[in-house]
Amino acid sequence: MSHCLGFDLGTTNSCVSTMTSGMPSVIPIHGMRTVPSVVGYRAGLPPLVGSEARRQAIANAKNTISSSKRLIGRRFADAEVGRATKHLSYDVVQGPEGEALIRVPILQKEVSPIEVGSEILKYMRTDALRQLGEVEPDKKVPAVITCPAYFNNDQRRATEVAGQLAQMDIVRVISEPTAAALLYNYMHRDDKIKENDLFVVLDAGGGTYDVSVMECSGDGIYTVLATSGDGFLGGDDWDNALVDYLVDDIAGVVSHEQRKTDKAARAALAERIRQDPVLISRLKATAEDTKKQFTDKAAVDILLPSFIDGFSYRKTLTRKEFEMLTSFLVNRLIGPCKQALSDASLTPSSISKVLLVGGTTRSLALRRRVKDFFKREGLTTLNPDESVSLGAAVQGAILNKDVSNILLLDVAPLSLGLETLGGVFSPIIRRNSTIPTKKTQTFTTSEDNQRSVRIKIYQGEREIAAQNHFLGEFELEDLPPGPRGSLKIDISFEVDENGLIHVCAVDQNTGMKKSVKITNASLSAEAIAEMLRAAEENKDVDRRERELIDYEKELNSLVTGLSDALTEHRNLIGGVVAERCKKQVEVGRELLERIRDASRRALVNLSDVRACRDRIQKLTLELGQDLQGRRVKPRK
């Protein structure tokens, strides 16, 4: 394997690194250590990428694409797409397969976020190889690429495809906080690290926020214990909050100068600004620049000459005012921290260090909030913009066997499993299981002479399958006929190193096999957080429903068995016993009807079902004993 490149394809900025003489190092692209994740399309010419694209963004707003990472691997109908488009200068439309596409008027067509990502990666790859002295610049090169910890199957796969379109062999897709932790531990590999040392990586980038709780075993093995995150908590969101404030403030100032003081006129002017891609691009650039200056300035002068209707805008904004505007974002930082610690069964006091990575961790308000929660300063020894890419380069060196004695194990963010009889969710791989992993469970048929088994795959924490996220399904057909329960089917779930999901079903008797690679696991950080919240809120409801399903199956089996026995042995059963049995069969059937009626199901008392089941079970046993005593001997 030649040079293995490590890419951080970021929401706002991207970076590429490699290992040089045993040390990870950033490769400056055209003199810049980070490249703006911006692509500007032009008619009849190759697209501009990076700083060149950003410089022409205001004049070419509709054809200049930024923050495309928030759209990669998503469906147009996803709530996150609608949320993202509110602050984009370009149009997002629905593709023929329901995917989110970006309209580029100057090309008179749509492009996918994957294509945008590939242009950024291609731009970096080309100059990186030139600097590394590669004599075959068009050959495929191995690369490790990073993505947020909460990227789902679709988003990880889309990121991988973007790399492949950029003429790279993507040897691994790893989580961004995992990459940062890998770098930190590689740079401190000679330090004395105590066994079972616990630390947290907070990765606040341009578009996403990830929290990973990790453990070092002391022998070079680093295990991710839990992850959490927020897909709309990054530098972009601080910018957008300031843009929203500026839109309203400018509308108020200009309306006043135009002597239009009514609320309707002010609102109409604000809407004009929001609908103008050129004005929004100017505000976005101003907001980002202002935000960065607050790292070392207490106040910033904002000047927008000839902004709208010939009016200029000027304002001095203090850091305190900015922090008040964005306090709701800072407050959201702690929720994922609490979730990750809870999942790992830890408390803030258990953590020995907190590693801060990502450009947004330069925020002084963020650092104060993190210190308040963990009761310790966050470590800022790594370059927040470069650490993820450098960590990816370390991972490449490990895969290339240039680095040894370091192993980092990631986790699955949600449980994976399938729907079983009665609609129950049966988890195969549990949430926060270390990956890569493979788990197999054996299932059987539920009906006599069942010729096929449909396997429905879900992801989530609810006990009822339909309340989880549906991933896909496939069917194992042409099974040999036989009584229910006679066929044994092994179902295996596998999550690979890149977090991609594979499911396989094998009939033990015939060796018949069918498998599927899941490609539609469209779950965002928000969706995952919402699923976990819903699972916690509804755990009592889910437990009751699970019990009711189990009782229903038992009761149905007992009622059917007792009814069949009454018919088959009617000549052997005494009248009194027969009447008792018939009465309980009727009670059982009536109860089953109530359970199966959606309008009455919630009113069914579990203790009533349990009591009915126990009575029929006892009666069935007594009937069996009675029949043994009454059975007529056959004639000779």
Q: Based on the fold, state whether residues 77 and 149 are members of the same structural domain.
A: yes
Average pLDDT over residues 196-207: 90
Average pLDDT over residues 291-298: 94
Domain end, chosen from 274, 307, 326, is at 326
Percent of the chain with pLDDT over 90: 45
- Residue 193: pLDDT above 70? no
Average pLDDT over residues 466-473: 82
- CATH code for the domain in which residue 563 is found: 1.20.1270
Q: Based on the fold, state whether residues 476 and 556 are members of the same structural domain.
A: no
Beta bridge partners of residue 408, listed in sequence order: 222
What phi-psi label fits residue 547: left (phi over 0), alpha (psi between -120 and 50 degrees) or beta? Answer: alpha
CA distances from 186 to 16, 24, 189, 386, 518 (A): 18, 9, 5, 15, 33
pLDDT given for residue 636 in this prediction: 40
Q: Based on the fold, state whether residues 225 and 311 are members of the same structural domain.
A: no
Q: Based on the fold, state whether residues 30 and 142 are members of the same structural domain.
A: yes
- CA pair distance 227, 374, nearest whole angstrom: 17
- Secondary structure of 101-131 in the HEC alphabet? EEEEHHHCEEECHHHHHHHHHHHHHHHHHHH
Work out the burial of residue 220: count CB atoms within 10 Å of its CB; fewer than 13 is exposed, 13-18 middle, 19 or more buried.
middle
Is 4 in contact with 142 (CB distance < 8 Å)? yes
Task: Find where tokens 């680093």 sit.
Answer: 222
pLDDT tens, 59-77? 999 999 999 999 999 989 9
Assign 634 a pLDDT band (cuts: 50, 70, 90).
Answer: very low
Q: Based on the fold, state whether residues 71 and 161 are members of the same structural domain.
A: yes
Beta bridge partners of residue 14, listed in sequence order: 35
- CA pair distance 152, 573, nearest whole angstrom: 61
Q: Based on the fold, state whether residues 63 and 170 are members of the same structural domain.
A: yes
The whole domain housing 322 covers: 235-326
Assign 255 a pLDDT band (cuts: 50, 70, 90).
Answer: confident
- Residue 106: pLDDT above 60? yes
Burial 406-443 (b: 16+ CB within 10 A, else e): bebbbbbbbbbbbbeebebbbbbbebbbebebebeeeb
- CA pair distance 488, 480, nearest whole angstrom: 11
Single out the catalytic residue among 110, 176, 494, 526: 176
pLDDT given for residue 631 in this prediction: 52
- Structure tokens of 536? 């916690």
Q: Based on the fold, state whether residues 437 and 513 are members of the same structural domain.
A: yes
Average pLDDT over residues 70-94: 91
- CA pair distance 330, 339, nearest whole angstrom: 16
CA distances from 301 to 242, 252, 290, 313, 343 (A): 14, 18, 8, 11, 44
pLDDT given for residue 560 in this prediction: 85
- Secondary structure of 349-370 in the HEC alphabet? HHCCEEEEECHHHHCHHHHHHH
pLDDT given for residue 192 in this prediction: 61
- CATH code for the domain in which residue 36 is found: 3.30.420.40
Is 339 in contact with 532 (CB distance < 8 Å)? yes
Burial 463-500 (b: 16+ CB within 10 A, else e): bbbebbbebbebebeebeeeeeeebebebbbbbeebbb
- Residue 527: pLDDT above 60? no
- CA pair distance 92, 84, nearest whole angstrom: 10
- Bond into 24 cis (ω within 30): no
Domain end, chosen from 523, 550, 576, is at 523
pLDDT given for residue 19 in this prediction: 94
The amino acid present at 594, given as its one-letter code, is R
pLDDT given for residue 635 in this prediction: 41
pLDDT tens, 607-624? 888 898 888 888 888 777
Measured at the CA of 489, the angle between CA 485 and CA 493, to 5 degrees, comes to 140
pLDDT given for residue 526 in this prediction: 61
pLDDT given for residue 522 in this prediction: 44
Q: Which helix (H) or strand (E) holds 392?
A: helix 387-399
**Number of residues assigned to the chain:** 636
pLDDT tens, 109-136? 999 999 999 999 999 999 999 999 886 7
pLDDT tens, 407-431? 767 777 788 899 988 788 889 998 8
pLDDT given for residue 534 in this prediction: 64
- CA pair distance 499, 157, nearest whole angstrom: 9
pLDDT tens, 548-598? 877 888 888 888 888 888 887 777 777 777 888 888 889 989 988 888 887
- CA pair distance 178, 388, nearest whole angstrom: 8
Least confident of 7-11, 191-195, 271-275: 191-195
Is 539 one of the catalytic residues? no
Q: Which helix (H) or strand (E) holds 491?
A: strand 488-495
- Residue 475: pLDDT above 90? no
Is 467 in contact with 535 (CB distance < 8 Å)? no
258 Cβ partners below 8 Å, 6+ apart?
Answer: 265, 309, 311
Q: Based on the fold, state whether residues 319 and 337 are members of the same structural domain.
A: no
- Residue 480: pLDDT above 80? yes
Tell which wins on pLDDT, 180 or 191. Answer: 180
pLDDT given for residue 528 in this prediction: 56
Domains in the chain: how many in total?
A: 4
Q: Based on the fold, state whether residues 403 and 417 are members of the same structural domain.
A: no
pLDDT given for residue 525 in this prediction: 55
Single out the catalytic residue among 115, 203, 386, 526: 203
- Structure tokens of 203? 């990765």
Q: Based on the fold, state whether residues 368 and 468 are members of the same structural domain.
A: no
Instruction: Report strand pairing: 469-476 vs 513-517.
Output: unpaired
Q: Based on the fold, state whether residues 87 and 64 are members of the same structural domain.
A: yes
- CA pair distance 614, 44, nearest whole angstrom: 79
pLDDT given for residue 629 in this prediction: 61
Q: Where are the alpha helices (DSSP H) in 17-141?
A: 51-55, 79-85, 113-132
Q: Based on the fold, state whether residues 45 and 89 are members of the same structural domain.
A: yes
- CA pair distance 342, 359, nearest whole angstrom: 26
pLDDT tens, 327-380? 999 999 999 999 899 989 999 999 999 999 999 999 999 999 999 999 999 999
- Angle, nearest 10°, between helix axes 263-275 and 235-257? 130
Q: Which helix (H) or strand (E) holds 397?
A: helix 387-399
Neighbouring CB atoms inside 10 A of 577's CB total: 17
- CA pair distance 160, 154, nearest whole angstrom: 10
Q: What are phi and psi of 75, to 5 degrees?
A: -85, 150
Is 90 in contact with 81 (CB distance < 8 Å)? no
Is 410 one of the catalytic residues? no
Is 550 one of the catalytic residues? no
- CA pair distance 207, 525, nearest whole angstrom: 12
Least confident of 13-22, 27-36, 61-70, 502-511: 502-511
Domain end, chosen from 523, 542, 567, is at 523
* Mean pLDDT for the chain overall: 87
Is 176 one of the catalytic residues? yes
Beta bridge partners of residue 308, listed in sequence order: 311
Assign 195 a pLDDT band (cuts: 50, 70, 90).
Answer: low
pTM of the model: 0.70
132 Cβ partners below 8 Å, 6+ apart?
Answer: 3, 18, 27
Percent of the chain with pLDDT over 70: 92
Is 273 in contact with 309 (CB distance < 8 Å)? no
- CA pair distance 433, 217, nearest whole angstrom: 17
pLDDT given for residue 467 in this prediction: 82
pLDDT given for residue 573 in this prediction: 72
